[in-house]
Amino acid sequence: MSLFKARDWWSTVLGEKEEFDQGCLCLADVDNSGDGQDKIIVGSFMGYLRIFNPHSVKTGDGPQAEDLLLEVHLRDPVLQVEVGKFVSGTEMLHLAVLHSRKLCVYSVSGTLGNVEHGNQYQIKLMYEHHLQRTACNMTYGPFGGVKGRDLICIQSMDGMLMVFEQESYAFGRFLPGSLLPGPLAYSPRTDSFITVSSCRQVESYKYQVLAFATDADKKQETEQQKLGSGKRLVVDWTLNIGEQALDICIIPFNQSASSVFVLGERNFFCLKDNGQIRFMKKLDCSPSCFLPYCSVSEGTINTLIGNHNHMLHIYQDVTLKWATQLPHVPVAVRVGCLHDLKGVIVTLSDDGHLQCSYLGTDPSLFQAPKVESRELNYDELDVELKELQRIIKDVKSQGVWPMTDREEDLKVSAVVSSSLDSVSQATNVEVGADSVPSITVKISLQNRVVLQKVKLSVYVQPPLVLTCDQFTFDFTVPDMTSIVAFSVYLKRSYVPSELEGNAVVSYSRPTGIPRVIQCKFRLPLKLICLPGQPSKTASHKLTIDTNKPPVGLPSLFPDFANQSDDDQVNVMGFRLLGGSRVTLLASRTSQRYRIQSEQFEDLWLITNELILRLQEYFEKQGIKDFACSFSGCIPLQEYFELIDHHFELRINGEKLEELLSERAVQFRAIQRRLLTRFREKTPAPLQHLDTLLDGTYKQVIALADAVEENQDKLLQSSAGLRSATHLLILLVRLWQKLSADQTAILEAAFLPLQEDTQELGWEETVDAAIAHLLKTCLSKSSKEQALNLSSQLNIPKDTSRLKKHITLLCDRLAKGGRLCLSTDAAAPQAMVMPGGCAPIPESDIEERSLEESAELFTNHKHLIAETPVPEVTALQGVLE
């Protein structure tokens, strides 16, 4: 038994299987008895209206029959009950009952009884209003400052406020931007209505503004009629509380101000009349109802808050003063005066438990027995302490965080087949006339201990696809070995940006700790490339310098060599599975290799494969000082063309989606018009609506196809841009002889991990990362390190800023700048989030030098032919 349990003064259960909500409970002297005693009015969703005048009962006795003054079945569900001065010509209290489509106002009266059954009570309908819209809730008060009477405002389910001046309907107004109705309250001091919209904002509307605003009945009329029907409805003030509100209550704070209390899903707020927060309190439990009331302490307000843990908390401002336990979850709580007992707490649950209680404590009659005192054995305590310390040390040695030596729990290895599949597994390919090969990859998993929830996921770069990319395993005993095999093939007619695959294994250790292990594998070049004829001319050329004598191309690429062609010692052609050709030449007199192609992005895979095979060749020869370099101009102009093409596709995709959205809205509007015409009893002419519907449907289908086609082009452009980015990073690394750490920083800046979408694309992400490098490790002065964290990543208007930053990055690397992440003492660096990069302040001198360096980087269309290299003639002679 809880010490702080609510003391039950009177309770009952209403009906059977009836439902109630927060508006179904009200306390007032509804029969105008004049003795100051409140009655309890309860309405239910089953349509029952009950009025109680409870009396104190002895412990164990139930409620008496005379406690129920009145019970009436009103047939319609009762949404809310309120008591006020609702009848004109009198200041007597009357009962307002809100139904879903009707508002009824009753007078409650009692007749003295002459027998022992007591007084008789009855209700009389004074007037009713039939509602054109489904009601949600209502509030009342002296709207407009009227004296001696109360007006009623009803909020409909579609966000319309309907004001009734007692027996007559006054006006109706739609709240701007209303989607779902929220709690509604009236502030007499400011003469305004306060609600919480579906945008999770507390909004206040002046009654005078509502009265003179546009009439809701004319909302659907033409624009000319709307302009002449009244003023625009504007909100007085708003406050974003970030959560949906359960209830609103307004309490006078003092004679000159009042407070607006808002109960949210996790907090309750106290606001001033102008919408400023007076205070707020974060709640520990999910609340169900609340009731603020004036405190005996001056300048403070008490608040009753019921929650779903059967508790009722009493706060004085934000300080918890009392907590009491209830036998049910309250959905409505009120405080009233019952039979000269002031401050009785009345609670109502959703299933009809009505209870009147007061705060108090139950004295505890239990006394704990005295514990027999005994002497402590310190030797035994020392032994127990050492044992516990040993257990703690063993647990710490196992480690909670993943450690490298714990990867022995599971060993993962990948083996790529040395030859292509005899029967290709490629299906539904879009490569053209070429037969698409496939290759088999085997993943082996060997566990050391029992593992749970082992899942294997395999990833490759598009347009490469897998025959199966998800596998699950069950290692129930140690030292099990599982092998899975799958095939990889090219599905689309463009080149992937990488030939590297990644196998990721996730599992849970016996202790429940999740772990992830990854294993990378490299696919062969012959999977996407075939031997081809060398090309004499090409638009894009690159020259790679080495420090070792040239190696014959057939020994480097034996899988592409033709034994019958003796001229392949210094030249070799490659044909990618999309139609593009790449030519590789080796100089006879110097230590240079040239790669050329019609497509700039197609140079990447052959160039990277050449460097990898050269390194592998010289490692087998025992030569460890082999190095490659690049002394030409960085091909920024071709790279910028790919960036512009990719950005243009993104802009086109955004425009197509907007146009498709407009056509979809138009299509639904025409459908509604046609449906209205078809439902009419007297058929009306369609006025070519069917023709307009058919034309709009064709436009929607055409736009959807255009969006899909543009998306496919964007994927292809993204793959090409990623390949060109890999090539640019490789050339910069060879040009400036960057270390592995510096290359990793460059890759992190140019190759973000997230997918390219309309909301967050490659251009703005890379621009933010490069701007961060220019402001930190590559900055020239402390002024450039002044970072602005207020901006966000948005799609840019054009790519000029990005291209400018890339050119500036290459310029500063050429002038001796170095990439690093550590803080330099000479030039202090400030960390920045990717979304917080501001434009880089650059002087006029730097602008001019930047333009000169841009010409240096971009004038390279035929950099081999334009550079007077002695062996150029020999290289051309190989092709002739």
The predicted pLDDT at position 874 comes to 39
The pLDDT assigned to 476 comes to 79
Any residues with CB less than 8 A from the CB of 511 and at least 6 apart, and which?
398
Distance, CA of 198 to CA of 183 (rounded, Å): 11
pLDDT of residue 838: 34
**CB neighbour burial string for 303-327, b if at least 16 within 10 angstroms, e if fewer:** bbbbbeebbbbbbebeeeeeebebe
| Sheet bearing 451-459, strands edge to edge | 470-475, 451-459, 500-508, 514-522
Give CA–CA dist 291/302, Å, rounded.
Answer: 8
Q: What is the rounded distance in angstroms from the CA atom of residue 241 to the CA atom of residue 256? A: 25
CB 840 within 8 Å of CB 774 = yes
Query: What are the residues whose beta carbons fall under 8 Å from the beta carbon of 320, sequence distance 6 or more?
Result: 313, 314
CA 91 to chain centre: 54
Q: Is 628 exposed, middle or buried (0-12, 13-18, 19+ CB in 10 A)?
A: buried
Could you tell me which residues are beta bridge partners of residue 453?
Answer: none
Give CA–CA dist 581/602, Å, rounded.
8
* Alpha carbon separation from 385 to 381, 390, 395, 396 (Å, rounded): 6, 9, 16, 17
Q: Residue 635 and residue 599: Cα distance in Å, rounded? A: 13
User: What one-letter code names the amino acid at 318?
Assistant: V
Query: Looking up tokens 């500063």, which residue turns up?
Result: 812
Burial 170-187, CB ≥16 within 10 A → b, else e: bbbbbbeebeebbbbbbb
Residue 92 burial (CB count, 10 A): 13
Residue type, 27: L
Tell me the whole-structure pTM to 2 decimals: 0.53
Q: How far apart are CA 164 and CA 87, in angstroms?
A: 11
Instruction: Please name the amino acid found at residue 148.
Output: G
Contact 514, 530 (CB under 8 A): no
Q: Which residues contact 163 (CB under 8 A, 6 or more apart)?
A: 143, 151, 152, 153, 169, 170, 171, 172, 173, 210, 211
Q: Cα separation of 398 and 405, whole Å?
A: 10
Give the whole-angstrom CA distance, residue 863 versus residue 865.
Answer: 6
pLDDT at 96: 95
For residue 467, with 0-12 CB atoms within 10 Å meaning exposed, 13-18 middle and 19 or more buried, which class applies? middle
Angle among Cα 477, 481, 484 to the nearest 5 degrees reads 130
Distance CA 205, CA 270 (A): 18
CA-to-CA distance for 587 and 574, rounded, in angstroms?
A: 18
Distance CA 40, CA 28 (A): 7
| Contact between 650 and 711 (Cβ < 8 Å) | no
Provide the token pair at 791. Answer: 């901006």
Q: Write down the pLDDT at residue 726.
A: 93
Helix intervals (H) in 404-557: 553-556
Q: What is the pLDDT of residue 678?
A: 79
Please tell me the distance from the alpha carbon of residue 212 to that of residue 214, in angstroms, as a whole number: 7
Task: Tell me which residue of 412, 584, 427 sits closest to 504, measured CA to CA.
Answer: 412
Run of H or E residues at 866: helix 863-866
Helix (H, G, I), strand (E, B) or coil at 618: helix
Return the H-helix or E-strand segment holding 111: strand 102-111
pLDDT at 826: 35
Paired tokens of 30: 């509804």
Residue with tokens 């179904």: 24
CA distance 301 to 279: 11
What are the strands, taking DSSP E only, across 673-823? Answer: none
Tokens at 850, concatenated: 């930047």
List CB contacts of 41: < 8 A, sequence separation 6 or more: 25, 26, 27, 28, 30, 49, 50, 51, 81, 83, 95
Sequence-ordered list of residues with C-beta below 8 angstroms from that of 123, at least 6 positions apart, any chain: 49, 70, 72, 95, 106, 107, 108, 109
> Residue 372: what residue type?
E
The pLDDT, as a whole number, for residue 563 is 55
**Integer distance in angstroms from the first to the last C-alpha of the chain?**
102
Weakly modelled stretches of the chain, pLDDT under 70: 1-4, 58-62, 113-118, 215-231, 253-256, 296-297, 361-374, 396-408, 432-434, 563-568, 579, 754, 781-791, 822-880
- For residue 649, the cross-strand partners are none
CB 402 within 8 A of CB 410: no
Residue located via tokens 């220019």: 774
CA distance readout (Å), 424 to 438, 487, 526, 570: 5, 9, 13, 32
Q: Rounded CA gap, 610 and 582, in Å?
A: 12
What distances in angstroms separate CA 780 from CA 177, 460, 774, one per listed residue?
51, 40, 8
Whether 10 contacts 39, CB under 8 Å: no
- What pLDDT, on the 0 to 100 scale, is given for residue 368? 65
Tokens of 594: 């040239």
Polymer length of the chain: 880
Q: What is the Rg, in whole angstroms, of the alpha carbon atoms belonging to the chain?
A: 40
Nearest CA-CA partner of 126 in 104, 154, 99 = 104
- 10 Å CB burial of residue 340 (0-12, 13-18, 19+) is exposed
> DSSP labels for 116-146?
TT--EEEEEEEEEEE-SS-EEEEEEE-GGG-
| 174-175-179 Cα angle (round to 5) | 100
From 610, 605, 618, select the one nearest 594 (Cα to Cα): 610
Q: CA dist 752 to 388, 716, 803, Å?
A: 48, 17, 17
- Residues 6+ positions from 597 with CB-CB distance below 8 Å: 535, 538, 539, 540, 580, 581, 582, 583, 603, 606
CA distance 535 to 102: 86
Residue 22 CA to residue 41 CA, distance in Å, equals: 12
Q: In this predicted model, what pLDDT tens digit does every residue of 148-171 receive, in sequence order?
A: 899 999 999 988 999 999 899 998
| 3 state DSSP class of 12 | strand
Give the Cα separation of 485 and 464 in Å (integer). 16
